[in-house]
Amino acid sequence: MDREHGEHLTRTTERGSFCVALCSCGWKGPARRSRDRARTDAQEHETAPGAAA
Ligand SMILES: [Zn+2]
């Protein structure tokens, strides 16, 4: 990925009964049963994009 375009615009999307966090950089969080948890995944990714999931 191109580090110079370090903008991370996250959103969450429903996937069946799960909710998944997505980012403009192509990152995707794990499927969560809770939308709040998926949103937390997204925030953690924005805070530390390079961190391991
Ligand atoms: Zn990202």
pLDDT the model gives residue 7: 86
Q: Give domain status of residue 53, yes or no.
A: no
Domain count within the chain: 1
Cα 10 to averaged position of ligand 1 atoms, centre (Å): 7
Domain that holds residue 18: 10-47
pLDDT the model gives residue 44: 95
Tell me the C-alpha to C-alpha distance, in Å, between residue 5 and each of 35, 45, 46: 27, 15, 13
Cα 23 to averaged position of ligand 1 atoms, centre (Å): 5
**Ordered per-residue pLDDT tens for the chain, 53 residues:** 455 556 899 999 999 999 999 999 999 999 999 999 999 999 999 999 887 55
Q: Give domain status of residue 42, yes or no.
A: yes
Cα 5 to averaged position of ligand 1 atoms, centre (Å): 10
Spell out which residues have Cβ within 5 A of ligand 1, the ion.
Answer: 8, 23, 25, 27, 49
The residues, ordered by sequence, that sit 6+ positions from 44 with a Cβ below 8 Å of its Cβ are 51
